Structure 1
């Protein structure tokens, strides 16, 4: 089933992750990938559902071809569902990285969280709403077709696929869309998005336990033993939901620390030195001025690079007297500067827009305050203290 929208916050030194699979296309400009794990579900659906089609239509080997078409329709329904999330998110100005279809459904990777509970609600609800509308339309058309014909079977498959995707995703627990709806409601009532995320994530964990128990409960009520396929699917879905809920809890803890990010407080003190100064001289200057970092200037006094700590440490004491700082410095770019007044979400947004290892922190008048390392930001949002020196 669909995982819905994934609005986890990237860290400031995240790079674009590797392509997760085969690029299917870019509908409405959104890249859509399918992973190799999709074939696992496609084969299972074909084998299991093919026998059902054969009993209904007696098509022989073609029954398995029609069953494979159902697997394709199921994932096409997931794709339409995810596109609804993505387009509504983009309509609210939130960047959508891509859609990924995988073994248990799909996910829309949205790079920022919705700023209000109302927008969170509509981004989450758009997917199930479209799925249920498609299910209703296909259900109506199916009643106009012969149920024992190929078109009738395909229409039956289409409304069943969309009904499954829509209803399953309305279950009230993260990482499902229903979990995001629950989060939006709790957020609206309490005004605390962190609390809302924790409630919705624990809702997902409770649902995961119920999904594991359902095959056994149904079998017990029928006075029989649960089927092996029911147990396998129950465990798979429950595992997916439990891991997604756990990830949501971790993300909630991270987001709770974001308001504490302040560029001014995280900036490391720096000393500026000319490019031809030996490392030994830069070390002395840094010690004298109590600086943690060394930045390198050109002939005009403009900061052009930053001494790379690992590269500098690799230089032996005997060589530091004649190796210039420029040899162990990393060049800065046009995006290597942030304002000292940036805090919280604004600071994180600026850093993730142009992920770099370090940034110059400047006052409003252009004066250099210090150096901000992405590793220090990651340490804070991970609950650790930044390393200095």
Structure 2
């Protein structure tokens, strides 16, 4: 980011020296100040996304600024098209508002340098707002289009696909713009070609990632916790491991859950640990020694499926999870490898 601020400061300094020749080397300091102000306005853009997400009780993990703007990392996804639309559109609207305010404030300054700086800040923010409204992922406008298609068709995945192809179209337009500039009486230079290529590749990469996500989302309906669960039986922690294995085989159960005397699950026997233990040691080893202690997140609702199930598993990565019914009874054990296999085998 500091490199980009330096480049913006350098470009701005040369323009300021044209506007105010007497400025001398102070033009570089003024250019740096402009670059910082520009990135602060980009930060406002991202903060607006974060505040919108927080208003819908969504967790915001971070805000990052980069070469082509910024990104707000939000945990999870909007639950409705309207929420998706609001979270997406507030960013460009904030940039447009900052640009409009800066434009209106130009006349308040008599100094030529200040007028030029404020005007440049206004134009930059207006451009950021308008470009971000281009209807293609990964731009905010792509998420607006995604929300619109989702709202009309009730198919979120279709919205992602349409917006992703919009992003690819925008990428082609960005790369091709310098080529067609002569048709409009404009002579492109090396910077135009380089910038068009960088922006185009950024858009193409983001759009391609969105298409990959859409393909993965089509597999989610096949990931159902109850369908993938292994039957499980409860055993006390001091039971010999060999006896636990015998009981599991007798009950045709695929997993063992360590229980208290009161019927409370306190651990899940790790399948890998059980397999790696020499058979001659099993009669002398308590089954509890091969179990992972139940922590927050290792007990999941048996009714979970699709994206909510994957999000719950990602919050607490583990090899096994206990599936619990609404009445508190144990339905079975969900093995992560089984979920991965089902996901890969999806349509």
Normalised by the size of structure 1, how large is the TM-score? 0.80
Say which one has the larger Rg. 2
Counterpart position of 2:43: 79
The answer to whether the 8 A contact 1:73-1:161 is kept is no
Cα distance in structure 1, aligned partners of 2:258 and 2:211: 42
Counterpart position of 2:271: 309
Q: Secondary structure at the match of 2:218?
A: helix
Cα distance in structure 2, aligned partners of 1:147 and 1:257: 61
Instruction: Show structure 1 runs of 5+ residues with no match.
Output: 1-37
Which structure carries more helix by proportion?
2
* 2:139 pairs with 1:172: no
Deviation at 1:231, TM superposition (A): 2.0
Cα distance in structure 2, aligned partners of 1:41 and 1:378: 41
Deviation at 1:200, TM superposition (A): 0.2
Counterpart position of 1:370: 332
Q: 1:245 aligns with which of 196, 200, 207?
A: 207
Counterpart position of 1:209: 172
Counterpart position of 1:130: 94
Moved more, 345-354 or 259-268: 345-354
Over 3 Å counting, the alpha-carbon distance change for 1:97 and 1:378 in structure 2 is farther
Q: Deviations over 1:177-206 (max 9, x none)?
A: 111111122222222111111000111011
**How does 1:13-52 map onto structure 2 within 5 Å?**
38-52=1-15
The answer to whether the 8 A contact 2:268-2:321 is kept is no
Cα distance in structure 1, aligned partners of 2:277 and 2:133: 59
**How does 1:1-389 map onto structure 2 within 5 Å?**
38-58=1-21, 59-146=23-110, 148-149=112-113, 151-219=114-182, 221-222=184-185, 224=187, 226-344=188-306, 346-348=308-310, 350-351=312-313, 357-380=319-342, 382-384=343-345
Q: Deviations over 1:340-381 (max 9, x none)?
A: 23344554565556555533212233221101234544554x
Deviation at 1:335, TM superposition (A): 4.0
Q: Secondary structure at the match of 1:276?
A: coil
The answer to whether the 8 A contact 1:278-1:323 is kept is yes
Cα distance in structure 1, aligned partners of 2:223 and 2:33: 50
Cα distance in structure 1, aligned partners of 2:157 and 2:213: 9
Cα distance in structure 2, aligned partners of 1:364 and 1:358: 19
Q: Deviations over 1:138-162 (max 9, x none)?
A: 011113323622x223312321231
Cα distance in structure 2, aligned partners of 1:87 and 1:375: 37
Over 3 Å counting, the alpha-carbon distance change for 1:117 and 1:303 in structure 2 is closer
Cα distance in structure 2, aligned partners of 1:360 and 1:223: 65
Cα distance in structure 2, aligned partners of 1:72 and 1:374: 46
Moved more, 63-72 or 312-321: 312-321
Cα distance in structure 1, aligned partners of 2:111 and 2:336: 60
Deviation at 1:121, TM superposition (A): 1.8
Higher RCO (C-alpha under 8 Å, 6+ residues apart): 1
Q: Secondary structure at the match of 1:273?
A: strand
Deviation at 1:73, TM superposition (A): 1.8
Moved more, 164-173 or 319-328: 319-328
The answer to whether the 8 A contact 2:268-2:322 is kept is no
Normalised by the size of structure 2, how large is the TM-score? 0.89
Cα distance in structure 2, aligned partners of 1:274 and 1:334: 21
